[in-house]
């Protein structure tokens, strides 16, 4: 009997050891999975916008303003941006990040009506491929983040909107108009970046390929200059970017950013000997700030840009055949300004901060106002023909946050144009989210 008891005890011991080993193995698998997930970053943002515009949407409403003094309103439903962010921390200071964006629910191929010339339908290919890969970079961190080296498709942080472009970082339904009208937005290019952050200061310096002046326009200034219709970005010319942020005062950020580079002949088409001295130097200076304190959020920006050789660039761009379909060029065939500028300020107060119940629930309701003035043709040849590019805009509305990551927006806005043109009032409603899931 004792012999059988010893055998049973041995079997039980082996069985128990097997269970313990299996549990340890399962525990190791779980810990590895938890470790991997802790290094994975998954998030994004998205916007839905509904608009009613109480002005004409005809292509020649500026060049033939007399025709549209009593034109009917029009409505638009849109999905401006849907973005997926994915990143991973490999350890030892190495990480990567990506951002894939779907603009207007499509694949970046669109048809638009040109507002400057004869109202032709124009096929626009903003970037080769079916979706926009707005970010793809590898980053190496040094000294606890005081220095980082990033290489790849990176955000160009010139201006407030490019640096802070998520829908929870501005009050209006659409991105602030001024910077969005003049500069690439969100501005992203392949390049090299050195950046970092200390307690009170942040900085970033970038080396990039230059913009393409062939894609500049009268209403858009250099907005489309970062895009490429090819499977690569031409880098015959180069540019530098710098940004400095200060956080010395609690709740306040003060920022300066700038861009300098050449833009002409940064394309496949040869310009010819008469353009040998044309450089197309582009210089941009920008100041932006954000105060988030005492239940107030106040943001502002001021941007000024200078484009050298603007007359030669205008002549070169307009020398393409009138119908873009004949040569397939990305040129807008329009004159380009020598100078452009944008200023804007918005302020919102959280009313729910004064109500105990909503404050305890973490809900916010900002009542806001925004003013901005921008001009994509502030100086240059044929300036008198482009006075409709000088725009002032007021917006008033609310932002409701039921939770931190979700915002419901509503606003009334009005663009004020120069005498002789028609002002453009509108009502916009939006729903957006922004956050990290992992």
Q: What is the pLDDT of residues 6-63, one digit of tens each?
A: 665 655 565 555 655 655 666 666 677 777 788 899 999 999 999 999 998 888 888 8
Give per-residue pLDDT as tens, 209-253.
999 999 999 999 999 999 887 778 889 999 999 999 999 999 999
What per-residue confidence (pLDDT) applies to 13?
A: 62
Strands 147-155, 121-125: pairing kind: unpaired
Strand partners, 260: 240, 283
What per-residue confidence (pLDDT) applies to 324?
A: 45
SS3 of the chain:
CHHHHHHHHHHHHHHHHHHHHHHHHHHHHHHHHHHHHHHEEEEEEEEEEEEEECCCCCCCCCCCHHHHCCCCCEEEEECCEEEEEEEEEEECCEEEEEEEEEECCCCCEEEEECCCCCCCEEEEECECCCCEEEEEEEEEEEHHHCEEEEEEEEECCCCHHHHCCCHHHCCCCCCCHHHHHHCCCCCEEEEEEEEEECCCEEEEEEEEECCCHHHCECCCECCCCCCECCCCCCCCCEEEEEEEEECCCCCEEEEEEEEEEECCCCCCCCCCHHHCCCCCEEEEEEEEEEEEECCEEEEEEEEEEEECCHHHHHHHHHCCCCCHHHHCCCCCCCCCCCEEEEEEEEEEEEHHHHCHHHHHCCCEEEEEEEEEEEEEEEECCCHHHHHHHEEEEEEEEEEEEEECCEEEEEEEEEEECCCCCCCEEEEEEEEEEEEECC
Per-residue pLDDT 10s for the chain (438 aa) are 565 556 656 555 655 556 556 556 666 666 777 777 888 999 999 999 999 999 988 888 888 888 887 778 999 999 999 999 999 999 999 999 999 998 887 665 555 555 555 555 455 555 443 578 899 999 999 999 999 999 999 999 999 999 999 999 999 999 999 999 999 999 999 999 999 999 999 999 999 999 999 999 999 999 999 988 777 888 999 999 999 999 999 999 999 999 999 999 888 777 778 888 999 999 999 999 999 999 999 999 999 999 999 999 999 888 866 544 455 566 788 899 999 999 999 999 999 999 999 999 999 999 999 999 999 999 998 888 899 999 999 999 999 999 999 999 999 999 999 988 999 999 999 999 999 988
Instruction: Look at the chain and count its residues.
Output: 438
What per-residue confidence (pLDDT) applies to 29?
A: 65
End-to-end alpha-carbon separation of the chain, Å? 59
Question: Which CA distances in Å does 70 have to 65, 293, 412?
Answer: 10, 45, 20
Q: Please name which of 169, 181, 101 lies closest in space to residue 388, comparing C-alpha atoms.
A: 181
Alpha carbon distance 353, 355 (integer Å):
6
What per-residue confidence (pLDDT) applies to 374?
A: 98
Question: What is 41-436's CATH superfamily?
Answer: Porin (2.40.160.10)
Cα 344 to the center of its chain, rounded Å: 17
Tokens 């007021």 belong to 394
- Residue 402 CB partners (closer than 8 Å, separation 6+): 363, 408
Alpha carbon distance 99, 330 (integer Å):
25
What per-residue confidence (pLDDT) applies to 112?
A: 57
Q: Domain locations in the chain?
A: 41-436
Q: Please name which of 98, 57, 94 lies closest in space to residue 75, comparing C-alpha atoms.
A: 57
Q: Please name which of 295, 431, 428 lies closest in space to residue 367, comparing C-alpha atoms.
A: 295
What per-residue confidence (pLDDT) applies to 14?
A: 55
The reply to whether omega before 186 is within 30° of 0 (cis) is yes
- 120: which 2 tokens? 């032709």
Alpha carbon distance 407, 168 (integer Å):
7
* CB burial of residue 173 (10 Å; 0-12, 13-18, 19+): buried
């Amino acid at each position: 009997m004792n012999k059988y008891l010893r055998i049973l005890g041995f079997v039980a011991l082996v069985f128990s050891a097997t269970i313990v080993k299996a549990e340890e193995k399962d525990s190791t698998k779980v810990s590895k999975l938890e470790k991997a997930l802790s290094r994975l970053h998954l998030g994004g943002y998205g916007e839905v916008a509904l608009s009613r515009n109480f002005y004409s949407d005809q292509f020649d409403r500026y060049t033939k303003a007399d025709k549209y003094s009593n034109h009917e309103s029009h409505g638009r439903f849109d999905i401006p941006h849907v973005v997926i962010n994915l990143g991973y921390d490999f350890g030892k200071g190495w990480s990567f990040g990506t951002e894939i964006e779907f603009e207007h629910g499509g694949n970046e191929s669109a048809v638009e009506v040109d507002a400057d010339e004869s109202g032709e339908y124009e096929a626009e290919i903003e970037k080769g491929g079916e979706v926009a890969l707005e970010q793809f970079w590898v980053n190496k961190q040094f000294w606890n983040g005081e220095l980082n080296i990033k290489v790849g498709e990176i955000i160009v942080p010139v201006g407030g909107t490019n640096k802070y472009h998520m829908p929870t970082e501005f009050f209006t339904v659409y991105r602030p108009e001024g910077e969005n009208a003049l500069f690439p937005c969100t501005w992203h290019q392949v390049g090299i970046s050195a950046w970092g952050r200390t307690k009170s200061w942040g900085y970033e310096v970038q080396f990039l390929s230059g913009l393409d002046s062939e894609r500049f326009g009268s209403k858009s200034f250099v907005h489309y200059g970062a895009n490429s219709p090819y499977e690569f970005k031409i880098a015959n010319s180069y540019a530098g970017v710098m940004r400095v942020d200060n956080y010395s005062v609690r709740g306040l950020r003060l920022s300066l950013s700038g861009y300098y580079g050449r833009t002409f002949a940064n394309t496949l088409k040869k310009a010819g000997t008469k353009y040998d001295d044309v450089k197309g130097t582009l210089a941009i200076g920008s100041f932006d700030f954000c105060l988030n304190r005492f239940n107030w959020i106040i943001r502002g920006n001021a941007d000024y840009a200078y484009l050298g050789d603007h007359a030669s660039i205008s002549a070169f761009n307009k020398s393409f055949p009138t119908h873009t379909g004949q040569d397939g060029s990305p040129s807008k065939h329009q004159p380009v300004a020598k100078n452009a500028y944008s200023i804007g300020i918005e302020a919102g107060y959280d009313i729910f901060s004064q109500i105990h119940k909503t404050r305890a629930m973490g809900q916010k309701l900002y009542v806001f106002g925004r003013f901005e003035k921008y001009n994509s043709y502030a100086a240059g040849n044929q300036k008198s023909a482009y006075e409709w590019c000088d725009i002032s805009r007021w917006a008033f509305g609310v932002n409701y946050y039921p939770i931190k990551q979700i915002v419901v927006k509503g606003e009334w806005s009005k663009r004020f144009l120069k005498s002789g043109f028609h002002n453009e009032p509108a009502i916009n409603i939006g729903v957006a989210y922004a956050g990290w899931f992992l």
